[in-house]
Structure 1
Amino acid sequence: MATTNTKSTARLMMAPSVIVLFIWMLVPLALTLWFSTLRYTFYDPATPFVGIENYTYFLTDPRFISAFQNTLILVAGVLAITVIGGTFVALLLDQEFFGQSQVRLLVLAPFFVMPTVAALVWKNMMMNPVYGVIGWLLQSVGLQPINWLTDYPLFSIIVIVAWMWLPFATLIFLTSLQSLAEDQKEAAEMDGAGILSIFFYITLPHMKRAITVVILIQTIFLLSVYAEIFVTTGGGVASSNLPFLIASIISLEGDVGTASAGGIVAVVVANIVSIFLVRLVGKNLEA
């Protein structure tokens, strides 16, 4: 059992790391907050104080509304695909079959592909209307190929990002399924329960914590998706999210002040979502 002295020693040993991490986080945030109150651009050496003018300009920009909507749709779409698809794939991988280890390795492989590489593969080899695999499959059944990245840009990005995160969800869900006692299923089968009843009343409640953790972790990363949009569609109203809009403001327009204000807004949005999800996770872990 830890004593008061050992607890004090542990805190003292952790203090330098905590202080460094705090400074590492606080300094960039403070500078961003300061720049957001200045009329600071790459093309004008003067940086007058303008207060909340940059925030007003960013929040009233029509691009902000579309980027905010795209961010929410992207996060919700990827979560829906990965949670539902990951559950289904995990159930399949939990069964005994020939080559189980090899199949599991192949299913997990996309998670280790860099976002830029994955986006290039999908853009040039899968979704290209001329020589892409999907276009070839549509032509083989007599249908016209679709220019996915032009006609359905946001949906295409959701598919690409979901393809990358599906293995992560599958791995977490498979681990959860393997911790489920088989005697519960056997007892339910002996009582006449069907496959669907066993899934909804035994398997799914057992996976609740794993599903919650997957939603929490994926949401944190999905709020910062950038590479997939840059490589595939290059932005635009139909596919830009908040991180891409902020990057475009500072890289194309050179407006550091407005981009900094957008960064603070994005941080606030991310923290609101995180607080909500952390509370959700806490309730499920206590259940």
Structure 2
Amino acid sequence: MLVIGTAGHIDHGKSSIVKRLTKTDPDRLPEEKKRGMTIDLGFAFYKTEQAETIAFVDVPGHERFVKNMVAGVGGIDVVMLVIAADDGWMPQTEEHFRIVKLLNVPRGIVVINKIDLADDEILELLEMEVAEKTAGSFLEDAPIVKISAQTGEGFDEVKTILEKLPSEVKSQRDIGKPRLFIDRSFVRPGIGGVVTGTLRGGELSVGQSVTLIPSLVEAKIKSLHSNNNDVKTAVPGQRTAVSFTGIDKELLIRGGVVFAGWAEVAQLDDRVLALQMEIVP
């Protein structure tokens, strides 16, 4: 399964693009629908003509929710950087771009949305700005697609790119060191504590003992869910939900990691919170 994460400034149309592609509204919370903005991570799935599944992780664009954005893009294969034609490259466009570069996301697509609100001259200038901003980065040669999530213009080109991606993006390798970066945690009645994320590095199986970071507690996997099915074993590259036996929700921390295969974990005595970051050439 290929995982694509959105990125970009608030109100540039990330969720609208995902909804038009997948027919699923990633804004699932009542407050999101009331306020008309993405607050938390949203998830949707797209099926290619070759029956390949592409998972979309839709992230919030507001600066107040950047921690949610970071949790969402930690396990993606491809980023879809969305820029509104009538707004241009904005502060959270830059911030999200820097974050995915720091996380070494290997592949990307640049989508210029809301082209129905801009003329040809504005679009040409914006393309030049995007080329300047992404020069020397992993997005330097990325396709730039001009679309309107409102009218549907340009979506055929997006779908053509999506059809090719599963065969072009290197599949996740099984190196015997499974790790799942937690992007959601919750309690399901009758099941208990559950975390979700994209599995990397190896398989996880029901009954397997794993370690939770940063809680540093050992847990046993009670059940696994992937591709809308209960499974006994989850493989690398899959969106995976994991439930545990006898673990309090407070220990299932978003942004943490579920892993197995290491005997020891290096610890820091102090926690450091970075309020601002700058990439130095």
Higher helix share: 1
Considering only CA atoms, is the larger Rg found in Structure 1 or Structure 2? 1
Same-fold status (TM-score > 0.5): no
TM-score, normalised to structure 2, is 0.26
Higher strand share: 2
